[in-house]
């Protein structure tokens, strides 16, 4: 890994104008004191459950103290940017997906496979290879997501409707959504308008033998594949098969607001756990996304939320950090406390044990992830430096398609140009 370039990093993250007093604020350097700093994000419920799990870890390891550093997702990234610029990073920290390779390029990760207190014996060589970045195990997944379609089984039963068969295609789904929206008695739409759902989009690309990102850090898809994706959604919008922007109050609709207005939605497999609780009287089911005819081999993929050990951690804290990560990813008792909102366990043994205490919705999630995990998969690459806001750009482009602000082909080409511009700046 190359040395940290402070000026380049500040330019990349937009913090070049911040004052020194702001950069140096925080909880003190990673080397101060004997406690492990542990940083993560989420909502209030996650803050409470993870705090409780960290307390249980300390009870079992009284020689280790853990100082939690929690924030909402966006605030977490902003704080991380500030702390990294000042080299004041938590000893163990979660990694936002768009930042995985940005942090790697700036040397923030410590090697993990030489930490004696982190047991990797449950993982096969293929697992370790898929966790690694550039052939090095420098981050560890603490969950597994897969792209899914989640539908309301209660609505289907009430209306006497049936989803297409499990071997469905994108054309099958489009036809079903149009038919359902035109004929259900409740006046519901088939789905929300969400072409900015990145997991579904990535599945679309990989089935067409393209990728989000290439191994050498470039955009892995072309304007034709992106335009076809936008066009698939635009036709549904024109047919009244998905909610309009007005009906869902803009892009990225709140499920608590639209959940009673749609039959299904695209998302990550773990979303069922939080979102199903918003409507506890209804039953939700998951299935894999549709597959295009003649799909490329190995198109299935796993998405990993990751955590890491800071490369500047004191040597005398490394084994304690390994023990805490081991507790997080290799111990089912940890998941009994925090639940499965961060996805299925990456450890296959712990995944099997999780069925013993999983809720009905968590079991639905575990089942679909386990099935996807058994499929053949070609390599998947993380977002390169400079792409931290690519999902926001995808959302704006999706909105432009819905509003008719330019031809679909023009919107697609413009989005790719915008993403590539960010990559060039981050290089």
Show me where the domains of the chain are located. 6-144+305-367, 147-299+386-426
Tell me the C-alpha distance between 129 and 320, whole Å: 25
Tell me the C-alpha distance between 74 and 90, whole Å: 17
Q: What is the pLDDT of residue 220?
A: 98
Q: Say what the pTM is.
A: 0.89
Q: Which residue has the tokens 């969950």?
A: 143
CB 118 within 8 A of CB 325: yes
Give the residue-averaged pLDDT of 220-224: 98
Is the pLDDT confidence value at 268 over 90? Answer: yes
Give the residue-averaged pLDDT of 250-254: 94
Domain spanning 6-144+305-367 has what CATH number?
3.40.190.10
Is the pLDDT confidence value at 2 over 80? Answer: no
Name the β-bridge partners of 310: 109
Q: What value, to the nearest 5°, has the Cα angle with vertex 44 and ends 43 and 45?
A: 95
Q: What is the pLDDT of residue 427?
A: 76
CB 229 within 8 A of CB 204: yes
Closest by Cα among 307, 304, 305, 316 to 115: 316
Tell me the C-alpha distance between 189 and 39, whole Å: 40
Hey, do 6-144+305-367 and 147-299+386-426 end up sharing a CATH topology, with the first three levels equal?
yes
Using CB atoms within 10 A of its CB, is residue 112 exposed (0-12), middle (13-18) or buried (19+)? buried
Q: What value, to the nearest 5°, has the Cα angle with vertex 56 and ends 53 and 62?
A: 135
Crossing angle of helices 390-403 and 223-238, in 10° steps, is: 50
Fold (topology level) of 147-299+386-426: D-Maltodextrin-Binding Protein; domain 2 (3.40.190)
Tens-place pLDDT, residues 273-288 = 999 999 999 999 999 9
Long-range contacts of 407-415 (CB under 8 A, 24+ apart): 408/227, 408/230, 408/231, 408/234, 409/223, 409/227, 411/227, 411/230, 412/223, 412/224, 412/226, 412/227, 412/230, 413/223, 415/226
Is the pLDDT confidence value at 93 over 70? Answer: yes
Q: Residue 153: CB partners within 8 Å, gap ≥ 6?
A: 282, 283, 284, 285
Q: What is the pLDDT of residue 34?
A: 65
Phi, psi angles (nearest 5°) of residue 310: -65, 135
Tell me the C-alpha distance between 273 and 266, whole Å: 14
Is the pLDDT confidence value at 30 over 70? Answer: no
Q: Using CA atoms of 77, 58, 362, 278 in order, give the dihedral in degrees to the nearest 10.
A: -60
Residue 80, helix vs strand vs coil: helix
Q: Mean pLDDT score of the chain, rounded to an integer?
A: 91
Is the pLDDT confidence value at 174 over 90? Answer: yes
């Amino acid at each position: 890994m190359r040395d940290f370039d402070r000026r380049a990093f500040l330019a990349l993250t937009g913090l070049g104008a911040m004052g020194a007093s702001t950069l140096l604020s925080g909880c003190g350097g990673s080397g101060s004191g004997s406690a492990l700093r542990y940083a993560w994000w989420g909502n209030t419920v996650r803050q409470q459950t993870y705090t409780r799990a960290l307390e249980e870890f300390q009870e079992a390891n009284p020689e280790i103290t853990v100082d939690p550093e929690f924030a909402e997702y966006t605030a977490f990234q902003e704080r991380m940017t500030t702390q990294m610029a000042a080299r004041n990073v938590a000893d163990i920290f979660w990694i936002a997906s768009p930042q995985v390779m940005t942090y790697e390029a700036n040397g923030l990760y410590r090697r993990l496979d030489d930490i004696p207190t982190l047991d990797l014996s449950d993982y096969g060589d293929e697992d370790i290879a898929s966790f690694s970045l550039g052939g090095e195990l420098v981050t560890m997944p603490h969950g597994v997501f897969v792209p899914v379609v989640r539908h309301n089984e209660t609505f289907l039963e009430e209306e006497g409707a049936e989803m297409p068969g499990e071997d469905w295609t994108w054309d099958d789904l489009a036809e079903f959504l149009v038919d359902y929206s035109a004929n259900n008695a409740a006046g519901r739409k088939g789905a929300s308008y969400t072409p900015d759902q990145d997991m579904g989009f990535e599945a679309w690309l990989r089935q067409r033998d393209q990728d989000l990102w290439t191994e050498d850090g470039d955009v892995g898809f072309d304007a034709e594949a992106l335009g076809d994706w936008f066009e698939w959604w635009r036709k549904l919008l024109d047919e009244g098969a998905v909610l309009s922007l007005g009906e869902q109050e803009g892009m990225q609709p709140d499920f608590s607001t639209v959940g009673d207005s749609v039959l299904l939605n695209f998302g990550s497999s773990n979303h069922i756990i939080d979102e199903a609780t918003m409507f506890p009287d209804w039953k939700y089911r998951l299935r894999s996304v549709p597959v295009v005819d003649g799909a490329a081999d190995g198109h299935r993929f796993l998405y990993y939320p990751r955590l890491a050990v800071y490369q500047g951690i004191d040597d005398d804290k490394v084994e304690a950090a390994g023990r805490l990560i081991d507790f997080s990813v290799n111990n089912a008792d940890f998941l009994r406390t925090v639940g499965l909102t961060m996805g299925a366990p990456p450890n296959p043994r712990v995944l099997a044990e999780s069925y013993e205490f999983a809720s009905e919705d968590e079991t639905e999630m575990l089942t679909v992830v386990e099935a996807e995990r058994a499929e053949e998969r070609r390599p998947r690459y993380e977002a390169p430096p400079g792409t931290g806001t690519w999902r926001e750009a995808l959302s704006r482009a999706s909105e432009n398609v819905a509003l008719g602000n330019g031809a679909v082909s023009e919107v697609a080409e413009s989005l790719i140009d915008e993403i590539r511009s960010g990559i060039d700046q981050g290089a």
